[in-house]
Amino acid sequence: MDKATDHQVHVIGGGLAGTEAAWQLAQAGIKVRLSEMRGAGDMTPAHQTDGLAELVCSNSFRSDDADKNAVGLLHQEMRRLGSLIMTQAEPAKVPAGSALAVDRDVFSQGVTRALAEHPNVAVVRERVDTLPTSGMTIIATGPLTAPALAASIGQAAGMDHLAFFDAIAPVLHYDSIDMDKCWMANRWDKIGPGGGEGKDYINCPMNREQYQAFVQGLIDGEKTEFKEWETNTPYFEGCMPIEVMASRGPETLRHGPMKPMGLDDPRTGRWPYAVVQLRQDNASGTLWNMVGFQTKLKHGAQVELFRTIPGLEKAEFARLGGLHRNTFIQSPKLLDPTLRLKSAPHIRFAGQMTGCEGYVESAAIGLLAGRFAAAELLGQPLPAPPPETALGALLGHVTGNEATADYQPMNVNFGLFPPLEDVKKKQRKEAMTSRARAALGQWLGELQPA
Q: Which is nearer to ligand FAD, 318 or 439 (CB)?
A: 318
Beta-ladder partners of 287: 173
Beta-ladder partners of 340: 348
Q: How far is the CB of 301 from ligand FAD (least distance, A)?
A: 18
Q: Is 370 annotated as a binding residue?
A: no
Cα separation, 183 vs 270, whole angstroms: 13
Q: Which is nearer to ligand FAD, 24 or 44 (CB)?
A: 44
Q: How far is the CB of 159 from ligand FAD (least distance, A)?
A: 17
Q: Is 14 annotated as a binding residue?
A: yes
Q: Is 16 annotated as a binding residue?
A: yes
Q: Is 17 annotated as a binding residue?
A: yes
Q: Which is nearer to ligand FAD, 28 or 56 (CB)?
A: 56
| Stretch (H or E) spanning 171 | strand 171-173
Residues that bind ligand FAD (CB under 6 A): 12-18, 35-38, 44, 46-47, 56-58, 127-128, 140-146, 149, 351-353, 358-359, 362
**Residue with nearest beta carbon to ligand FAD:** 15
Residues in the chain: 450
Q: Which is nearer to ligand FAD, 79 or 324 (CB)?
A: 324
Q: Which is nearer to ligand FAD, 42 or 178 (CB)?
A: 42
Cβ atoms 77, 67 nearer than 8 A: no
Radius of gyration of the chain, Cα coordinates, nearest whole angstrom: 23
Q: Is 292 annotated as a binding residue?
A: no
Show Cβ contacts of residue 21 under 8 Å, excluding neighbours closer than 6 positions.
11, 138, 140, 350, 366, 367, 369, 370, 373
Q: How far is the CB of 105 from ligand FAD (least distance, A)?
A: 15
Cα separation, 280 vs 109, whole angstroms: 43
**Among 356, 346, 447, CA closest to 399:** 356
Cα separation, 365 vs 355, whole angstroms: 10
Q: Please calculate the CA angle 384-385-388 and round it to the nearest 5 degrees.
A: 130
Show Cβ contacts of residue 80 under 8 Å, excluding neighbours closer than 6 positions.
440, 444
Cα separation, 327 vs 342, whole angstroms: 19
Q: Which is nearer to ligand FAD, 28 or 46 (CB)?
A: 46
Q: What 3-state class would DSSP assign to 429?
A: helix
CA atoms within 13 A on the CB side of 409: 29
Cα separation, 303 vs 423, whole angstroms: 27
How far is the CA of 421 from the CAs of 86, 119, 286, 418, 429, in angstroms?
32, 49, 10, 9, 11
Q: How far is the CB of 100 from ligand FAD (least distance, A)?
A: 11
Q: Is 15 annotated as a binding residue?
A: yes
Q: Which is nearer to ligand FAD, 16 or 305 (CB)?
A: 16
Q: How far is the CB of 101 from ligand FAD (least distance, A)?
A: 11
Q: How far is the CB of 286 from ligand FAD (least distance, A)?
A: 22
Q: How far is the CB of 304 from ligand FAD (least distance, A)?
A: 21
Q: Which residues are annotated as a binding site for FAD?
A: 13-18
